[in-house]
Structure 1
Amino acid sequence: MSGVLDHTMIRVGDLEESLEWYQTNLNYEEKGRWEADTFTNVYIGPEEMHEDGAMLELTENHDTDEYDVGDAWGHIAVRVPEDELEEAYQELMDNGVEDYRDPESCSYNYAFVKDPDGHEIEIVKRDPELGARWSLDHTMIRVEDADEALGFWTRKFEYQHTGRWESDSFANYFVKPEDAADEAMAVELTYNYDGRSYEMGDAWGHLAVRADDLSDYWETLMEREADDYRDPESCDNNYAFTTDPDGHEIEILERDFDADSLFPA
Structure 2
Amino acid sequence: MDGTLDHTMIRVADLEESLDWYQTHLDYEEKDRHEGDGFTIVYLGPEEMHEDGAMLEITHNEGETPDIGDAWGHIAVRVPEGELEAAYEQLMEEGVEDYRDPESCGGRYAFVKDPDGHEVEIVQRDHGAKWSLDHTMIRVEDADAALGFWTRKFGYDEVGRWESDTFANYFVEPTDAAPEEMSVELTYNYDGRSYEMGDGWGHLCVRLDDLQDDWDQLMTREAADYRDPESCDDMYAFTKDPDGHEIELLERDSEADSLFPF
- Structure-1-length-normalised TM-score: 0.98
Structure 1 counterpart SS, 2:98: coil
Residue 17 of structure 1: aligned partner: 17
User: 1:105-160 CA distances to partner (integer Å, 9 max, x unpaired)?
Assistant: 00100000000000000000111xx2000000000000000011000000000000
**CA–CA separation in structure 1 for the residues paired with 2:198 and 2:244:** 11
Aligned counterpart, 1:30 = 30
1:71 partner SS: coil
User: Hey, what does 2:86 align to over in structure 1?
Assistant: 87
Matching residue within 130, 143, 150 for 1:146: 143
Provide the C-alpha distance between the structure 2 equivalents of 1:204 and 1:220, rounded to a whole number of angstroms: 27
Partners of 2:82 and 2:227 lie apart in 1 by 44
Identity %: 77
**SS at structure 2 position matched to 1:140:** strand
Match of 1:216 in 2: 213
Q: Matched residues in 1 for 2:238 and 2:245: separation?
A: 10
Instruction: Output the CA distance in 1 between the equivalents of 2:44 and 2:135.
Output: 16
Matched, 1:126 2:105: no
Stretches of structure 1 lacking an aligned partner (at least 5 in a row): none
Alpha-carbon RMSD: 0.7
Is 1:197 equivalent to 2:194 in the alignment?
yes
Structure 2 unaligned regions, length at least 5:
none
Query: Equivalents in 2 of 1:256, 1:99: separation in Å?
Result: 41
Counterpart residue number, 2:223: 226
Q: Distance in 1 between matches of 2:66 and 2:59?
A: 12
Deviations 1:157-190 (A, max 9, x none): 0000000001111000000001211100000000
Q: Which residue of 2 aligns with 1:136?
A: 133
**CA distances 1:66-116 after superposition (whole Å, capped 9, x unpaired):** 111010010000001110000000110011001100000001000000000
Which deviates more from structure 2 when the two are superposed, residues 178-187 or residues 239-248?
A: 178-187
The alpha carbon displacement at 1:256 in A equals: 2.1
- Provide the secondary structure at the position in 2 that maps to 1:221: helix
Matches within 5 A, 1:168-179: 168-179=165-176
Q: Specify the code of the residue in structure 1 equivalent to 2:241.
A: D
Q: In structure 2, how many angstroms separate the alpha carbons of the residues matched to 1:126 and 1:163?
A: 15
Q: Give, in whole Å, the separation in 2 of the partners of 1:61 and 1:234.
A: 21
Q: What residue identity is the alignment partner of 1:86?
A: E
Question: Distance in 2 between the 1:256 and 1:93 partners?
Answer: 40
Matches within 5 A, 1:30-69: 30-64=30-64, 66-69=65-68
Q: Distance in 1 between matches of 2:57 and 2:70?
A: 20
Counterpart in 2 of 1:103? 102
Distance 1:2 1:155 in 2: 10
Aligned to 1:167: 164
CA distance in 2, matches of 1:166, 1:92: 30
Deviations 1:192-240 (A, max 9, x none): 0000000000101000000011011101000000000000000010000
The separation in 2 between residues aligned to 1:179 and 1:230, in whole angstroms, is: 29
Shift of 1:5: 0.2
In the aligned structure 1, how far is the partner of 2:215 from the partner of 2:38? Answer: 27
Q: SS in structure 1 opposite 2:170?
A: strand
C-alpha distance in structure 2 between counterparts of 1:88 and 1:142, whole Å: 27
